[in-house]
Amino acid sequence: MMVAREAADLVPTAREIADPADARQMLARFPHGPQIAPLLARLAVGVLVLDKGLDRGAARAAIGVSIQRARPRAVVLLGPELGRDLLGEGLPLAGGIRELHSRPIAAIAQANAAETERILMELCQRAGVSWAPPSARAAPARAVVRAEEREAQAAGLIEKQQWQTAIEALRQGEPLGPRGTNMLGRALLQVGDKEGARRAFERTLATEPDNRIALRQIESLR
């Protein structure tokens, strides 16, 4: 579900719009909408426009109600300030991913095209949605090389115990292989994100069910 805030050419919706055709027509007027709509052409997308008068708590509650009704796998906040307003000032300027109402929720703020694809790819992976941007589908070998480069960079950062920098490097190398997701899980554990670490190790096991490192870590997180 795509969420934006009321603007000059964007009227608040009384509730989420779930009809794919109507939603895509409105998405074109969202911030980043013209860029995102073609990327998500294969997915069913709903939209919600929040009244600009809603404070943080009311806006989050409105999203929660829409999640209960529409049951989206994930949520995307579109706009330069919406993500930081609703998810916290610690969110990177480009955007990022958090959780809200037990759903992965992404914010796309000042992201460029590559950053937007990366955020959407990670969001879909967390939500269990099968999707990859056209650039990844067109150049899988290049994506593998990039992931391997990021994994090598992250290994050096982990050795220096630069955990947060390692996390950022790995996320920029998505989609990661089992080695990368194991490193991501380890780094997330070190910064106290046990739930994120569990998801990372589960990603490892999804491709390598007998991976001993991931099995051991999952067991310790129970």
Residue position matching structure tokens 């997915």: 43
Do you know the residue count of the chain?
222
Going residue by residue through the chain, which has 222 residues, state the pLDDT in tens, using 9 for 90 and above. 999 999 988 999 999 999 988 999 999 999 999 999 988 888 889 999 999 999 999 999 999 999 999 999 999 999 989 999 999 878 888 999 999 898 999 999 999 988 998 899 899 888 888 887 766 655 555 666 677 788 889 999 999 999 999 999 898 888 788 999 999 999 999 999 999 999 999 999 998 999 999 999 999 998
**What single-letter DSSP state applies at residue 183?**
H
Cβ-defined contacts of 62-65 (< 8 Å, 24+): 63/3, 63/100, 63/101, 63/105, 64/100, 64/101
Element (H, E) at 181: helix 178-190
Residue position matching structure tokens 């959407």: 120
Compute the distance between CA of residue 206 and CA of residue 127 in angstroms, rounded to an integer: 14
Cβ-defined contacts of 17-20 (< 8 Å, 24+): 17/46, 17/47, 17/48, 18/46, 18/70, 20/44, 20/45, 20/46
